[in-house]
């Protein structure tokens, strides 16, 4: 498809998005999201609740990027929510930088930080949904 659809020389392994859109089962109370080491070469955006699907930067719950200007959100934003399924969208942007692991973490109801893949999500975040690259 590369020759047929065009793109840059790197578009077979660079210049793409990985998107998860679903829901996180939340026990109620504080919900916080972060990138494990706040170091993303390209960009990570997270939207929650009614803001899922938005293209408005003002609706971002979390933004982490490797550009010179500051992120539009705190490094570990937190919101208090009632128990239930919380709409959740994470968008990871891969441009021309060498691919490095990015670990989106979540803390539910003041609990320890852990990968989103350890939270109860619909659909499940696992190797079937996102097969390992290597």
Mean pLDDT of 28-53: 86
Q: What is the pLDDT of residue 7?
A: 47
pLDDT higher than 80, residue 37: no
- Whole-number Å distance between alpha carbons of 79 and 26: 12
Token couple for 128: 């079937």
Residue with tokens 């392994």: 13
Listed range (33-37, 65-69, 112-116) with the worst mean pLDDT: 65-69
- Whole-number Å distance between alpha carbons of 128 and 126: 5
73 pLDDT band, cuts 50/70/90, is confident
Tell me the torsion sign for CA atoms 130, 113, 76, 78: positive
CATH 3.30.930.10 assigned to 14-117: no
Strand 78-81 and strand 29-35: pairing? antiparallel
What whole-number percentage of the chain has pLDDT above 90? 37
State the CB neighbour count (10 A cutoff) for residue 120: 13
């Amino acid at each position: 498809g590369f020759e047929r659809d065009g793109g840059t020389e790197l578009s077979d392994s660079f210049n793409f998005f990985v998107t998860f859109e679903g829901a996180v089962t939340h026990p109620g109370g504080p919900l916080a999201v972060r990138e494990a080491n706040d170091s993303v070469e390209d960009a990570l955006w997270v939207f929650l609740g009614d803001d899922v699907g938005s293209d408005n930067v003002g609706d971002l719950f979390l933004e982490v990027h490797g550009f010179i200007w500051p992120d539009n959100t705190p490094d570990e934003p937190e919101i208090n929510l009632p128990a239930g399924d919380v709409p959740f969208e994470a968008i990871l942007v891969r441009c021309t930088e060498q691919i490095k692991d990015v670990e989106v973490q979540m803390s539910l109801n003041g609990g320890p930080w852990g990968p989103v893949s350890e939270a109860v999500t619909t659909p499940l975040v696992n190797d079937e949904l996102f097969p390992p690259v290597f």
